[in-house]
Amino acid sequence: MRILLTNDDGIHAEGLASLERIARTLSDDVWVVAPETDQSGYAHSLSISEPLRLRKIGDRHYAVRGTPTDCVIMGARKILPGLPDLILSGVNSGANIADDVTYSGTVAGAMEGTLLGVRSIAISQAYSYVGEDRFVPYETTEVLAPALLKKLVAMPLPEGVLLNVNFPNCAPDEIEGTVVTSQGKLVHSLWVDERRDGRGLPYYWLRFGREPAEGKAGTDLHAMRNRLVSVTPLHLDLTAYEIRDQLTKALA
């Protein structure tokens, strides 16, 4: 099985090294094509206004000055000798759940793989802060992901479906189980933080200020809060089928 790895945290991210160790429990034919720099929040974007720069950093290890989507396309269309059998995107530093899925470059890597017709799985690890330092328990993903991935790879998936896997912020022996979930709902809380540069001119940062959100049973949010590994099937078809008839009547 040929496996292509990517992420949105960048080629030197600790989570990518963790993902490579996980992938090598499944196959020896592992390729890494990841962004040169952090691409968190770039979602499913393409670089079409500037060229992609490719740098080989080791055997079957490449950095692309571009987005996770660019990396998957470069890997599948240019670098690898053929299409991979599996694309793994991650391990992201932080959970990608609920509405954050739409912002995630990690999930977008799996989306692009799905568009290419390749089985694709996004993997993320929730974290906490110890003082002012972020602590990401990648050990949890490394211990539990190999067995889970073997099960997920063995099962058939419909066309246009990818899997979004999230590991909760706890030690491996504190995990309560694995559940299939639906996408939860967060309260939108991105804020604009205005600052001034050395000349007194304004500039802005987008700032996260999460508000408490209801984690209904069966959602990825609920799973994370209850120390459950979340596996969410996502599909590329964004059509809201439930209101098509209503729209048809309104336009008649």
Sequence ranges of the binding site for a divalent metal cation: 8-9, 40, 92
The tokens describing 143, both together, are 């211990």
Dihedral of the alpha carbons of 238, 242, 246, 247, in degrees to the nearest 10: 10
Residues pairing with 48 in the sheet: none
Residues pairing with 235 in the sheet: 161
Nearest to 35 by CA among 63, 12, 55, 59: 63
Q: What one-character-per-residue DSSP string does the chain give?
A: -EEEEE-SS-TT-HHHHHHHHHHTTT-SEEEEEEESS--TT-TT----SS---EEEEETTEEEESS-HHHHHHHIIIIISSS--SEEEEEEEES---GGGGGT-HHHHHHHHHHHTT-EEEEEEE--EEETTEEE--HHHHHHHHHHHHHHHHHS---TTEEEEEEE-SS-GGG--EEEE-B---PPP-EEEEEEE-TTS-EEEEEEE-PPP----TTBHHHHHHTTEEEEEEEES----GGGHHHHHHHH-
Binding annotation: 8-9, 40, 92
Which residue has tokens 């470059």? 105
